[in-house]
Amino acid sequence: MSSIEEVIARMDQIVADCRTQKSRIGYFAILYRQVTRRIKEGIDLGEFEDNARMERLDIIFAQRFFDAYENYLSDNTTSQSWLCAFDATKKTGKVILQHLLLGINAHINLDLGIATVQTTQGNGLEAIKEDFDKINIILASMVDGVKANLSIISPLFGFLIQLADGKDELLLNFSIQIARDGAWEFAQEYSTTQDIDQCFTVRDQAIYRIANKIVNPGKFFGWIVFIINLTEWNSIPEVMDRLEGIVRKATPNNLRTAQL
């Protein structure tokens, strides 16, 4: 792929395929497509420190998701992190937010650091740090917006989010800010390692363990997740349609004032 327009077109196809096949992979694909649309808008508006470099990063970053998705559908080898996320979409009893966070976990915690290093091509990472953070600002803002409006398709979850008073990360064992910081540390490690394959394997195993905690949050929180799931919409295409509107509404308008 050579342009962000091609990336969005491929995402459109994945979303359409997931809707037709009633695959929950479409939940993350819808969120990620909107993140990419917002990045494209930012590039068009000149919001990034280096807009051409940001487009390269976006293309390389997205290709890792496309490769994982296509390998999974073809029964080819993929990372443990993505395998856990994709396998979970075939299981009932998982809530919508779990599927979103599993995709984010694999893509931010594992893929983003690698894509960042490949984008800089050995020219050092510090110059790209500000734009790296902006990707995470977009994602974090959208996830917060999704959680705030998820009551439309997950009534009980929406109620519990209000009661959680900012502590909802405990429910599903995941923090985007921690993921952002860890992804940057991994990028630094990956850029200097003498054994890329070993570095990747160790990181993938660590991120898989996070994914497994998201899938299996423990007996107490697992019971809460089970109850929430009973109140969520069951139709995957209908959830995808409504989720599309939710993520559009959650898209940040101004990256300069948004905070992670």
Q: How confident is the model at residue 171 (pLDDT cuts 50, 70, 90)?
A: low
3, 36 contact by CB (below 8 A): no
195/92 Cα distance (integer angstroms):
39
34/161 Cα distance (integer angstroms):
23
The pLDDT of residue 27 is 97
The pLDDT of residue 236 is 95
- Regarding predicted confidence, which is higher, 254 or 164? 254
Q: First-to-last CA distance in the chain?
A: 30
> Half-sphere exposure of 159 toward its Cβ, with a 13 Å CA cutoff?
8
Tell the residue number behind the tokens 């200097």, with chain if given. Answer: 192
Give the CA angle between residues 127, 133, 136 to the nearest 5°: 150
Highest mean pLDDT among 11-20, 119-128, 242-251: 11-20
143, 104 contact by CB (below 8 A): yes
The pLDDT of residue 163 is 54
Hey, is 245 helix, strand or coil?
Answer: helix
pLDDT tens by residue, 219-240: 777 777 788 888 888 899 999 9
Provide, for the chain, the percentages of residues in helix, strand and coil under a 3-state DSSP scheme, each rounded to the nearest 5. 80, 0, 20
Instruction: For the chain, give the percent of residues with pLDDT over 70.
Output: 91
- The answer on pLDDT for 195 being more than 80 is yes
The pLDDT of residue 166 is 53
Q: How confident is the model at residue 182 (pLDDT cuts 50, 70, 90)?
A: very high
Q: Which of 12-21, 76-85, 153-162 has the lowest mean pLDDT?
A: 153-162
The pLDDT of residue 169 is 55
pLDDT tens by residue, 98-148: 999 999 999 999 999 999 999 998 788 999 999 999 999 999 888 888 887
- Regarding predicted confidence, which is higher, 144 or 259? 144
Tell the residue number behind the tokens 């990063």, with chain if given. Answer: 57
Q: How confident is the model at residue 30 (pLDDT cuts 50, 70, 90)?
A: very high
Spell out the domain ranges in the chain: 4-250
Tell the residue number behind the tokens 């997740």, with chain if given. Answer: 225
Indicate the pTM of the whole model: 0.91
65/36 Cα distance (integer angstroms):
12
124, 230 contact by CB (below 8 A): no
Hey, is 181 helix, strand or coil?
Answer: helix
Q: What is the mean pLDDT of residues 186-214?
A: 95
210/173 Cα distance (integer angstroms):
8
DSSP code string of 9-45? HHHHHHHHHHHHHT-THHHHHHHHHHHHHHHHHHHHH
From the number of C-beta atoms within 10 Å of its C-beta (0-12, 13-18, 19+), residue 166 rates as exposed
Average pLDDT, the chain: 89
Tell the residue number behind the tokens 């599903």, with chain if given. Answer: 172
The pLDDT of residue 48 is 94
